[in-house]
Amino acid sequence: MRQKIVAGNWKMNLCFEEAEELVEELIDLLEDVELKADVIICPPFPYLEMASDYAQEELFNIGAQNISPFEAGAYTGEVSASMLKSMGVTHCIIGHSERRKYFNEDDKMLTAKVNQALMHDVTPIFCVGESLPEREAEKHFEVVRRQVRHGLFHLDTGEFSKVIIAYEPVWAIGTGITASPAQAAEMHAYIRSLIAERYDDQVAGQTLILYGGSCTAKNAAELFAQPGVDGGLVGGASLKAEEFVEICKLAI
Ligand code: PEP
Protein backbone atom coordinates (compact mmCIF):
# COMPACT_ATOMS: atom_id res chain seq x y z
CA MET A 1 0.00 0.00 0.00
CA ARG A 2 1.37 3.38 -0.94
CA GLN A 3 1.41 6.05 1.74
CA LYS A 4 -1.04 8.89 1.05
CA ILE A 5 0.43 12.37 1.09
CA VAL A 6 -1.12 15.83 1.13
CA ALA A 7 1.31 18.70 0.61
CA GLY A 8 0.42 22.38 0.91
CA ASN A 9 2.21 24.82 -1.38
CA TRP A 10 1.84 28.25 0.20
CA LYS A 11 3.61 29.94 -2.73
CA MET A 12 4.58 33.60 -2.13
CA ASN A 13 1.83 34.41 0.36
CA LEU A 14 1.44 35.63 3.96
CA CYS A 15 3.52 37.85 6.20
CA PHE A 16 5.42 36.22 9.08
CA GLU A 17 2.66 36.75 11.64
CA GLU A 18 0.04 35.27 9.35
CA ALA A 19 2.28 32.33 8.56
CA GLU A 20 2.83 31.59 12.24
CA GLU A 21 -0.89 31.88 12.88
CA LEU A 22 -1.60 29.41 10.08
CA VAL A 23 0.91 26.93 11.48
CA GLU A 24 -0.65 27.24 14.95
CA GLU A 25 -4.15 26.73 13.55
CA LEU A 26 -2.95 23.68 11.63
CA ILE A 27 -1.46 22.21 14.78
CA ASP A 28 -4.68 22.74 16.74
CA LEU A 29 -6.70 21.03 14.04
CA LEU A 30 -4.25 18.23 13.27
CA GLU A 31 -3.93 17.32 16.95
CA ASP A 32 -7.59 16.35 16.95
CA VAL A 33 -7.63 14.05 13.94
CA GLU A 34 -6.16 10.71 13.00
CA LEU A 35 -5.03 10.97 9.44
CA LYS A 36 -4.13 8.25 6.97
CA ALA A 37 -2.10 10.78 4.99
CA ASP A 38 1.27 12.27 5.80
CA VAL A 39 1.04 16.05 5.73
CA ILE A 40 3.72 18.33 4.32
CA ILE A 41 3.60 22.11 4.42
CA CYS A 42 5.74 24.17 2.06
CA PRO A 43 6.03 27.76 3.34
CA PRO A 44 8.23 30.42 1.74
CA PHE A 45 11.96 30.26 2.63
CA PRO A 46 11.93 32.89 5.41
CA TYR A 47 9.31 30.94 7.36
CA LEU A 48 10.94 27.51 7.13
CA GLU A 49 12.75 27.77 10.43
CA MET A 50 9.61 28.78 12.31
CA ALA A 51 7.59 26.00 10.65
CA SER A 52 10.37 23.52 11.24
CA ASP A 53 10.35 24.33 14.97
CA TYR A 54 6.63 23.58 15.07
CA ALA A 55 7.18 20.40 13.05
CA GLN A 56 8.89 18.90 16.11
CA GLU A 57 5.36 18.03 17.22
CA GLU A 58 5.39 15.51 14.38
CA LEU A 59 2.07 16.52 12.89
CA PHE A 60 3.58 17.51 9.56
CA ASN A 61 6.81 17.61 7.62
CA ILE A 62 8.35 20.69 6.07
CA GLY A 63 8.94 21.19 2.39
CA ALA A 64 10.67 24.03 0.57
CA GLN A 65 9.30 25.51 -2.64
CA ASN A 66 12.66 25.76 -4.35
CA ILE A 67 16.25 24.56 -4.05
CA SER A 68 19.52 25.59 -5.64
CA PRO A 69 20.94 23.49 -8.45
CA PHE A 70 24.38 24.27 -6.97
CA GLU A 71 26.14 22.75 -3.99
CA ALA A 72 27.52 25.89 -2.28
CA GLY A 73 29.44 29.08 -2.87
CA ALA A 74 29.10 32.31 -4.83
CA TYR A 75 25.47 32.02 -5.95
CA THR A 76 23.84 35.13 -4.52
CA GLY A 77 20.25 34.62 -3.51
CA GLU A 78 20.33 30.84 -3.70
CA VAL A 79 19.42 28.39 -0.95
CA SER A 80 21.21 25.06 -1.06
CA ALA A 81 19.97 21.58 -0.34
CA SER A 82 22.34 21.23 2.61
CA MET A 83 21.02 24.48 4.13
CA LEU A 84 17.47 23.20 3.82
CA LYS A 85 18.40 19.86 5.30
CA SER A 86 20.12 21.55 8.23
CA MET A 87 16.87 23.39 9.02
CA GLY A 88 14.78 20.23 9.19
CA VAL A 89 13.36 20.47 5.68
CA THR A 90 12.49 17.00 4.42
CA HIS A 91 10.89 17.71 1.03
CA CYS A 92 11.20 20.19 -1.81
CA ILE A 93 8.89 21.08 -4.69
CA ILE A 94 10.91 20.97 -7.92
CA GLY A 95 9.71 21.75 -11.44
CA HIS A 96 6.54 23.59 -10.47
CA SER A 97 5.00 25.10 -13.60
CA GLU A 98 5.30 28.61 -12.11
CA ARG A 99 9.06 28.15 -11.82
CA ARG A 100 9.29 26.61 -15.29
CA LYS A 101 7.34 29.58 -16.68
CA TYR A 102 8.46 32.66 -14.73
CA PHE A 103 12.03 31.61 -13.92
CA ASN A 104 12.83 29.71 -17.12
CA GLU A 105 13.71 26.54 -15.27
CA ASP A 106 14.53 24.03 -17.97
CA ASP A 107 15.05 20.29 -17.87
CA LYS A 108 18.80 20.65 -17.31
CA MET A 109 18.34 22.91 -14.30
CA LEU A 110 15.60 20.71 -12.87
CA THR A 111 17.81 17.65 -13.18
CA ALA A 112 20.52 19.47 -11.22
CA LYS A 113 17.98 20.44 -8.54
CA VAL A 114 16.71 16.88 -8.23
CA ASN A 115 20.30 15.65 -7.90
CA GLN A 116 21.10 18.22 -5.20
CA ALA A 117 17.99 17.34 -3.24
CA LEU A 118 18.69 13.61 -3.33
CA MET A 119 22.34 14.09 -2.48
CA HIS A 120 21.27 15.81 0.75
CA ASP A 121 18.40 13.50 1.59
CA VAL A 122 15.67 15.98 0.72
CA THR A 123 12.75 14.31 -1.08
CA PRO A 124 11.89 15.96 -4.40
CA ILE A 125 8.21 16.51 -5.14
CA PHE A 126 8.71 16.71 -8.88
CA CYS A 127 5.91 18.49 -10.76
CA VAL A 128 4.86 17.72 -14.29
CA GLY A 129 1.87 18.79 -16.33
CA GLU A 130 0.74 20.14 -19.64
CA SER A 131 -0.60 23.59 -20.54
CA LEU A 132 -4.09 24.11 -21.94
CA PRO A 133 -2.94 24.51 -25.58
CA GLU A 134 -0.90 21.32 -25.17
CA ARG A 135 -3.94 19.41 -23.90
CA GLU A 136 -6.14 20.88 -26.60
CA ALA A 137 -3.60 19.76 -29.20
CA GLU A 138 -3.68 16.31 -27.55
CA LYS A 139 0.01 16.62 -26.69
CA HIS A 140 -0.44 16.10 -22.95
CA PHE A 141 1.02 12.60 -22.84
CA GLU A 142 3.99 13.65 -24.94
CA VAL A 143 4.68 16.70 -22.73
CA VAL A 144 4.45 14.78 -19.47
CA ARG A 145 6.58 11.95 -20.90
CA ARG A 146 9.30 14.45 -21.81
CA GLN A 147 9.19 16.12 -18.38
CA VAL A 148 9.35 12.85 -16.47
CA ARG A 149 12.08 11.40 -18.69
CA HIS A 150 14.29 14.49 -18.72
CA GLY A 151 13.80 15.37 -15.08
CA LEU A 152 13.99 11.97 -13.44
CA PHE A 153 14.96 9.06 -15.64
CA HIS A 154 18.69 9.64 -15.27
CA LEU A 155 18.30 8.40 -11.67
CA ASP A 156 19.13 4.84 -10.74
CA THR A 157 16.42 2.71 -9.14
CA GLY A 158 17.48 3.49 -5.58
CA GLU A 159 17.48 7.24 -6.20
CA PHE A 160 14.26 7.21 -8.19
CA SER A 161 12.39 5.39 -5.43
CA LYS A 162 12.93 8.42 -3.16
CA VAL A 163 11.09 10.78 -5.51
CA ILE A 164 7.45 11.86 -5.30
CA ILE A 165 5.81 12.99 -8.54
CA ALA A 166 2.98 15.53 -8.72
CA TYR A 167 0.82 15.64 -11.83
CA GLU A 168 -0.37 19.23 -12.07
CA PRO A 169 -2.05 20.21 -15.33
CA VAL A 170 -1.09 23.87 -15.75
CA TRP A 171 -4.63 24.78 -16.77
CA ALA A 172 -5.89 23.55 -13.41
CA ILE A 173 -3.46 25.50 -11.21
CA GLY A 174 -5.12 28.40 -9.46
CA THR A 175 -7.97 28.45 -11.98
CA GLY A 176 -10.72 26.72 -10.02
CA ILE A 177 -10.89 24.14 -12.82
CA THR A 178 -9.69 20.67 -11.88
CA ALA A 179 -8.82 17.77 -14.11
CA SER A 180 -11.78 15.42 -14.14
CA PRO A 181 -11.21 12.35 -11.96
CA ALA A 182 -10.96 10.31 -15.17
CA GLN A 183 -8.33 12.64 -16.65
CA ALA A 184 -6.31 12.47 -13.43
CA ALA A 185 -6.54 8.67 -13.27
CA GLU A 186 -5.58 8.37 -16.93
CA MET A 187 -2.44 10.53 -16.57
CA HIS A 188 -1.38 8.89 -13.30
CA ALA A 189 -1.66 5.47 -14.98
CA TYR A 190 0.34 6.77 -17.93
CA ILE A 191 3.11 8.10 -15.70
CA ARG A 192 3.21 4.77 -13.89
CA SER A 193 3.50 2.96 -17.23
CA LEU A 194 6.51 5.14 -18.13
CA ILE A 195 8.13 4.26 -14.81
CA ALA A 196 7.48 0.55 -15.36
CA GLU A 197 9.07 0.80 -18.80
CA ARG A 198 12.17 2.61 -17.50
CA TYR A 199 12.53 0.74 -14.18
CA ASP A 200 10.09 -2.11 -13.47
CA ASP A 201 6.55 -2.86 -12.30
CA GLN A 202 7.57 -2.94 -8.67
CA VAL A 203 9.13 0.53 -8.76
CA ALA A 204 6.12 1.82 -10.71
CA GLY A 205 3.76 0.32 -8.15
CA GLN A 206 5.62 1.96 -5.29
CA THR A 207 6.02 5.47 -6.72
CA LEU A 208 3.88 8.11 -5.06
CA ILE A 209 2.04 10.29 -7.59
CA LEU A 210 0.04 13.24 -6.27
CA TYR A 211 -2.58 15.25 -8.13
CA GLY A 212 -2.42 19.05 -8.03
CA GLY A 213 -4.59 21.77 -9.50
CA SER A 214 -7.45 23.55 -7.75
CA CYS A 215 -7.93 20.84 -5.13
CA THR A 216 -10.53 21.83 -2.56
CA ALA A 217 -12.45 20.15 0.23
CA LYS A 218 -15.30 19.79 -2.29
CA ASN A 219 -13.46 17.92 -5.03
CA ALA A 220 -10.57 16.17 -3.25
CA ALA A 221 -12.50 13.05 -2.19
CA GLU A 222 -13.30 12.09 -5.76
CA LEU A 223 -9.84 12.92 -7.09
CA PHE A 224 -8.03 11.09 -4.29
CA ALA A 225 -10.27 8.04 -4.75
CA GLN A 226 -8.99 7.49 -8.28
CA PRO A 227 -6.71 4.52 -8.79
CA GLY A 228 -3.12 5.64 -8.83
CA VAL A 229 -3.77 8.99 -7.14
CA ASP A 230 -1.83 8.99 -3.89
CA GLY A 231 -2.99 12.33 -2.50
CA GLY A 232 -2.55 15.91 -3.51
CA LEU A 233 -0.38 18.97 -3.89
CA VAL A 234 -2.63 21.81 -2.78
CA GLY A 235 -2.00 25.50 -3.48
CA GLY A 236 -4.65 28.09 -2.64
CA ALA A 237 -6.64 25.87 -0.30
CA SER A 238 -3.55 25.17 1.82
CA LEU A 239 -3.67 28.76 3.09
CA LYS A 240 -6.91 28.05 4.95
CA ALA A 241 -6.22 25.78 7.91
CA GLU A 242 -9.69 24.28 8.16
CA GLU A 243 -10.05 23.54 4.49
CA PHE A 244 -6.52 22.14 4.23
CA VAL A 245 -7.12 19.75 7.12
CA GLU A 246 -10.46 18.73 5.57
CA ILE A 247 -8.56 17.90 2.37
CA CYS A 248 -6.00 15.92 4.38
CA LYS A 249 -8.82 13.89 5.92
CA LEU A 250 -10.03 12.95 2.43
CA ALA A 251 -6.78 11.21 1.52
CA ILE A 252 -7.69 7.72 2.79
C1 PEP B 1 -0.02 24.40 -6.95
O2 PEP B 1 0.41 25.53 -7.10
O3 PEP B 1 0.76 23.46 -6.80
C4 PEP B 1 -1.46 24.22 -6.94
C5 PEP B 1 -1.91 23.01 -7.06
O6 PEP B 1 -2.22 25.35 -6.80
P7 PEP B 1 -3.82 25.44 -6.64
O8 PEP B 1 -4.24 24.34 -5.70
O9 PEP B 1 -4.07 26.79 -6.10
O10 PEP B 1 -4.39 25.22 -7.99
pLDDT of amino acid 1: 85
Closest ligand 1 atom to Cα of 175: 10
Q: Give how far the C-alpha of residue 100 lies from the chain's centroid of Cα atoms, to the nearest Å.
A: 14
Residue 244 phi, psi dihedral angles, 5° rounding: -60, -45
Spacing, Cα 212 to ligand 1 middle (Å): 6
Catalytic sites, residue numbers: 96, 168
- Which residues face 92 on adjacent strands? 64, 124
Q: Is the minimum distance from the CB of 234 to ligand 1 under 6 angstroms?
A: yes
206 pLDDT above the threshold of 90: yes
Residue 169 phi, psi dihedral angles, 5° rounding: -60, 130
Q: What is the pLDDT of residues 89-128, one digit of tens each?
A: 999 999 999 999 999 999 999 999 999 999 999 999 999 9
Spacing, Cα 64 to ligand 1 middle (Å): 15
Neighbours of 103 (CB within 10 A): 11
All domains in the chain, ordered by first residue: 5-250 (3.20.20.70)
Pocket probe for ligand 1: among 98, 168, 219, the residue whose CB has the most ligand atoms within 8 Å is: 168
Instruction: Say how far apart CA 161 and CA 157 lie, in whole Å.
Output: 6
Helix axes 140-152, 181-198, angle to 10 degrees: 40
Q: Answer for the pair 91, 42: CB distance below 8 angstroms, yes or no.
A: yes
Q: Answer for the pair 167, 211: CB distance below 8 angstroms, yes or no.
A: yes
Length of the chain, please?
Answer: 252
Neighbours of 151 (CB within 10 A): 24
Spacing, Cα 85 to ligand 1 middle (Å): 24
Q: What's this model's pTM, rounded to 2 decimal places? A: 0.98
CA distances from 1 to 4, 88, 194, 207 (A): 9, 27, 20, 11
Q: Is the minimum distance from the CB of 178 to ligand 1 under 6 angstroms?
A: no
Q: Is the minimum distance from the CB of 174 to ligand 1 under 6 angstroms?
A: yes
The residue whose C-alpha atom lies closest to atom 4 belonging to ligand 1 is 235
Closest ligand 1 atom to Cα of 215: 8
Q: Answer for the pair 64, 113: CB distance below 8 angstroms, yes or no.
A: no
pLDDT, average across residues 116-145: 98
Closest ligand 1 atom to Cα of 234: 8
Instruction: Say how far apart CA 175 and CA 213 lie, in whole Å.
Output: 8
The residue whose C-alpha atom lies closest to atom 6 belonging to ligand 1 is 235
CA distances from 50 to 42, 87, 91, 109, 238 (A): 12, 10, 16, 29, 17
Residue 178 burial (C-beta neighbours within 10 Å; 0-12, 13-18, 19+)? buried
As a whole-number percent, the residues of the chain with pLDDT over 70 amount to 100
Neighbours of 168 (CB within 10 A): 28
For CA atoms 70, 75, 79, 82, give the dihedral sign.
positive
Instruction: Say how far apart CA 80 and CA 206 lie, in whole Å.
Output: 28
The single-letter code of the amino acid at 52 is S
pLDDT, average across residues 18-29: 98
Q: What is the pLDDT of residues 28-86, one digit of tens each?
A: 999 999 999 999 999 999 999 999 999 988 999 999 999 999 999 999 999 999 999 99
For CA atoms 137, 138, 141, 142, give the dihedral sign.
negative
Q: Is the minimum distance from the CB of 173 to ligand 1 under 6 angstroms?
A: yes
Closest ligand 1 atom to Cα of 127: 3
